Amino acid sequence: MIDFLIEIMGVESTSGMENSVAEHIKDNYSPAGAELEIQDIENGMVNLYYKWGKPEIIFCSHFDTVPPYIPPRVEGDTIYGRGACDAKGQIAYLAEVCRRLHERRETNFGLLMLAGEEVGSYGARRANELIEGCRYVIVGEPTENKLIKAQKGNMLAEVEFSGKAFHSGYPEHGDNAIQRMVDFVNKMNALEFPIDPVLGETTYNIGNLVSDNARNIVSDYVTMKIFFRTTFLTHDILIEKVGSIADDQTKIDFAYGDKPIEFHTIDGFETGVVSYGSDAPELTNLGKPMLYGPGSIFTAHTDDEHIKIADMERAVEDVVRVWEGLRNG
The identity of residue 206, as a single letter, is I
Cis peptide bond upstream of 165, omega within 30: no
pLDDT tens-digit series, residues 267-308: 999 999 999 999 999 999 999 999 999 999 999 999 999 999
Indicate whether 120 pLDDT > 90: no
Residue 321: which residues within 8 A CB-CB, separation 6 or more? 268
The string over 111-136, giving b where at least 16 C-beta atoms fall within 10 Å of a residue's C-beta and e elsewhere, is: bbbbbbbbebbbbbbbbbeebeebeb
**pTM, entire model:** 0.92
256-272: burial string, b at 16+ Cβ within 10 Å, e else: ebbebbebbbeeebeee
Question: pLDDT tens across 43-94, in order?
Answer: 999 999 999 999 999 999 999 999 999 999 999 999 999 999 999 999 999 9
Closest CA relative to residue 145, chosen from 260, 268, 8, 229: 268
How far, in Å, CA of 34 to CA of 272, rounded? 33
286 residue type, one letter: L
Q: For residues 306 and 135, give the distance between their C-alpha atoms in angstroms, rounded to a whole number.
A: 32
Whole-number Å distance between alpha carbons of 291 and 94 = 12
Residue 233 has pLDDT above 90, yes or no: yes
C-alpha–C-alpha distance, residues 62 and 292, integer Å: 13
Report the first-to-last Cα separation within the chain, whole angstroms: 28
Which long-range CB contacts under 8 A does 176-185 form with residues at least 24 apart? Answer: 176/218, 176/219, 177/211, 177/219, 177/220, 177/221, 177/222, 177/249, 178/211, 178/219, 178/222, 180/222, 180/247, 180/249, 180/250, 181/222, 181/224, 184/159, 184/245, 184/246, 184/250
User: CA 174 → CA 54, 99, 219, distances in Å?
Assistant: 66, 67, 8
Q: Closest Cα partner for 150 from 282, 57, 273, 292? A: 273
Domains, the chain, ranges and CATH? 2-151+261-328 (3.40.630.10), 153-258 (3.30.70.360)
- Flag whether pLDDT at 329 surpasses 80: no
Q: How confident is the model at residue 107 (pLDDT cuts 50, 70, 90)?
A: very high
